[in-house]
């Protein structure tokens, strides 16, 4: 079939999950972050596999992701990391989702809805300890706790914050965030809030900051086999989960001095064999990889020559004479002893492995390998 294929190796996912478990132990709960289609890996299948492995919580961005997980039959608690708007409270109660909370008006709306239904709605309160993005500013936490205490129907199950730079070599800002977080936890206790989970650790925190574990950790990128950065103190053996493949669509010999692709940005310097591949920026293969990327064919590297177009690229296989039409080509992942990592591609396109996974996999059809689910 002409086109590209995403393969998701669920055995690698299980391996990475077991690495998290090994680090944090049995008594710390694990919230598997499966937002954004599980970083492009396929939200429902990844969540199901994590559920078979005993994950204690799942994290998604919004109701739009949480509801489909419930409809797919997942029973693990689900945290909505971006919180909710007022019109989503019915979804929260109907599908047993747990919103993150950081706004007083939403707290009041949740309280009213809970009272009207004579029930309690669990929430996790998010505190901004320095990231400057989402959450109650830590200096306003005490005031926010007073508000929550005054509202009936809200059950604070968790208190969370998020690291801004735990993936950097210098941990001084993370240490400061941790200090602020601990102070806020004490304020919450003093206000009489009885929460089960305090949590702040993302993958970088899990790998480098054991002091940050508290009762729950929130791995994302490491579940998918990507290191959170190249600056970690204690790298963990992770296995990449995603592979992007295609096949040679056409093979041709061209003279020296032949232009290739839009804009004729590449001119062959010798008699060359060029393989044309049915993959392009529509598959998430960034146009910045024009004349820069490499792919694997016959277990060897071949350079991308000419511009990446929407659905096609050209690669130089002059040095790999045994290449044939329909040969398998790996754009991300392993072939033989060679491997192209998301980090390698990210370095060439001025981004991070997170974005490579989202671009390649996000909401595309995937082939799932090695599922342990029945
Ligand atoms: C995405 C996200 C994570 C996961 O971060 P990684 O660096 O991928 O481990 C954890 N917590 C929150 C709140 C997030 O939004």
What CATH number is attached to the domain comprising 364? 2.40.37.10
Domain boundary among 224, 255, 279: 224
Binning pLDDT at 50, 70 and 90, where does residue 142 land?
Answer: very high
The answer to whether position 128 is within a domain reads yes
| Host domain of residue 309 | 242-369
Do 68 and 214 lie in one domain? The reply is yes
Ligand 1 centre to CA of 285 (Å) is: 24
Average pLDDT score over residue span 330-349: 98
Binning pLDDT at 50, 70 and 90, where does residue 164 land?
Answer: very high
Residue of 24, 81, 166, 346 to mutate, ligand 1, most atoms within 8 A of C-beta: 81
Separation of alpha carbons 6 and 62, rounded Å: 25
What is the overall mean pLDDT for the chain? 97
Do 125 and 170 lie in one domain? The reply is yes
Q: How many CA atoms lie within 13 A of 67 on its CB side?
A: 11
126 CB within 6 A, ligand 1: no
Domain boundary among 168, 189, 224: 224
238 CB within 6 A, ligand 1: no
The answer to whether position 236 is within a domain reads no
366 CB within 6 A, ligand 1: no
Give the pLDDT score at 141. 98
14 CB within 6 A, ligand 1: no
Domain boundary among 192, 224, 256: 224
Ligand 1 centre to CA of 219 (Å) is: 6
Give the pLDDT score at 336. 96
Q: Return the structure tokens found at 15.
A: 């391996």
Q: Return the structure tokens found at 232.
A: 């970690």
Binning pLDDT at 50, 70 and 90, where does residue 28 land?
Answer: very high
Number of domains in the chain: 2
Average pLDDT score over residue span 347-357: 98
Residues contacting 64, CB < 8 A, separation 6+: none
Among candidate residues 35, 126, 171, 245, the one labeled active-site is 35
41 CB within 6 A, ligand 1: no
Could you count the other beta carbons within 10 Å of the beta carbon of residue 129? 27
The answer to whether position 2 is within a domain reads no
Do 69 and 216 lie in one domain? The reply is yes
Q: Convert the pLDDT of each residue in 47-99 to its tens digit.
A: 999 999 999 999 999 999 999 999 999 999 999 999 999 999 999 999 999 99
The answer to whether position 230 is within a domain reads no
Ligand 1 centre to CA of 200 (Å) is: 9
Average pLDDT score over residue span 135-148: 98
Do 264 and 169 lie in one domain? The reply is no
Give the pLDDT score at 362. 85
The answer to whether position 271 is within a domain reads yes
Binning pLDDT at 50, 70 and 90, where does residue 238 land?
Answer: very high
Active site residue 39: no
Strands 259-260 and 216-217: unpaired
Ligand 1 centre to CA of 159 (Å) is: 15
Query: Exposure string (b/e) for 47-56, b if CB count within 10 Å is 16 or more?
Result: bbbbbebebb
What CATH number is attached to the domain comprising 145? 3.20.20.10
The answer to whether position 260 is within a domain reads yes
The answer to whether position 94 is within a domain reads yes
Binning pLDDT at 50, 70 and 90, where does residue 10 land?
Answer: very high
Average pLDDT score over residue span 278-290: 97
Do 283 and 335 lie in one domain? The reply is yes
48 CB within 6 A, ligand 1: no
187 CB within 6 A, ligand 1: no
Give the pLDDT score at 290. 98
Separation of alpha carbons 295 and 105, rounded Å: 52
State the helix-helix crossing angle for 43-52 and 63-71, rounded to 10 degrees. 60
Do 149 and 194 lie in one domain? The reply is yes
Which one, of 304, 301, 303, lies nearest residue 290 by Cα?
A: 304
Do 105 and 169 lie in one domain? The reply is yes
Binning pLDDT at 50, 70 and 90, where does residue 296 land?
Answer: very high
- Please report the atom of ligand 1 found closest to the CA of residue 206: 9
Do 280 and 214 lie in one domain? The reply is no
Do 146 and 199 lie in one domain? The reply is yes
Q: Return the structure tokens found at 258.
A: 């032949």
Among candidate residues 149, 239, 262, 292, the one labeled active-site is 262
Active site residue 138: no
Give the pLDDT score at 145. 98
- Please report the atom of ligand 1 found closest to the CA of residue 162: 13
Ligand 1 centre to CA of 351 (Å) is: 17
221 CB within 6 A, ligand 1: yes
Separation of alpha carbons 41 and 18, rounded Å: 18
The answer to whether position 374 is within a domain reads no
Do 164 and 255 lie in one domain? The reply is no
Ligand 1 centre to CA of 63 (Å) is: 17
171 CB within 6 A, ligand 1: no
Average pLDDT score over residue span 175-203: 97
Ligand 1 centre to CA of 84 (Å) is: 18
Judge whether residue 219 has pLDDT over 80: yes
Binning pLDDT at 50, 70 and 90, where does residue 374 land?
Answer: low
Do 266 and 302 lie in one domain? The reply is yes
Average pLDDT score over residue span 185-214: 97
Do 220 and 335 lie in one domain? The reply is no
- Please report the atom of ligand 1 found closest to the CA of residue 100: 13
Separation of alpha carbons 296 and 299, rounded Å: 6
The pTM of the full predicted model, rounded to 2 decimals, is 0.97
DSSP tag of 72 = T
Which one, of 123, 59, 57, lies nearest residue 93 by Cα?
A: 123
Average pLDDT score over residue span 207-224: 98
């Amino acid at each position: 079939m002409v086109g590209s294929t995403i393969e998701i190796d669920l055995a690698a996912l299980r391996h990475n999950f077991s690495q998290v478990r090994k680090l944090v132990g049995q008594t710390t709960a694990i919230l598997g972050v499966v937002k954004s289609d599980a970083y492009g890996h396929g939200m429902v299948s990844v969540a199901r596999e994590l559920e078979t492995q005993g994950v204690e919580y799942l994290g998604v961005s919004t109701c739009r992701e949480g509801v489909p997980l419930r409809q797919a039959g997942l029973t693990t608690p689900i945290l909505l990391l971006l919180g909710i708007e007022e019109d989503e409270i019915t979804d929260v109660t109907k599908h047993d989702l747990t919103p993150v909370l950081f706004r007083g008006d939403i707290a009041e709306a949740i309280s009213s809805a809970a009272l009207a239904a004579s029930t309690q709605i669990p929430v996790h309160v998010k505190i901004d300890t320095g990231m400057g993005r989402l959450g109650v500013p830590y200096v306003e936490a005490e005031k926010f706790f007073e508000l929550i205490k005054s509202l009936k129907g809200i059950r604070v199950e968790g208190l969370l914050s998020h690291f801004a730079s735990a993936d950097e070599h210098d941990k001084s800002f993370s240490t400061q965030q941790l200090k602020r977080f601990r102070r806020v936890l004490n304020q919450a206790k003093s206000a009489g809030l009885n929460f089960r989970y305090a949590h702040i650790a993302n993958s970088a925190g899990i790998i480098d900051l054991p002091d940050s574990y508290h009762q729950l950790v929130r791995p994302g990128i490491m579940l998918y086999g990507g290191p959170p950065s190249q600056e970690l103190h204690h790298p963990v053996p992770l296995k990449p989960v995603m592979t992007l493949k295609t096949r040679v669509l056409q093979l041709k010999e061209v003279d020296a001095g032949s232009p290739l692709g839009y804009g004729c940005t590449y001119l062959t310097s010798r008699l060359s064999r060029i393989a044309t591949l049915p993959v392009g920026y529509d598959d998430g293969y960034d146009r910045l990889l024009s004349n820069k990327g490499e792919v694997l064919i016959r277990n060897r590297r071949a350079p991308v020559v000419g511009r990446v177009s929407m659905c096609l690229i050209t690669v130089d296989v002059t040095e790999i004479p045994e290449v044939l039409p329909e040969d398998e080509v790996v754009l991300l992942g392993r072939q033989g002893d060679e491997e192209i990592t998301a980090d390698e591609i990210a370095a060439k396109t001025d981004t991070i492995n997170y974005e490579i996974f989202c671009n390649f996999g996000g909401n595309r059809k995937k082939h799932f390998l090695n599922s342990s689910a029945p």
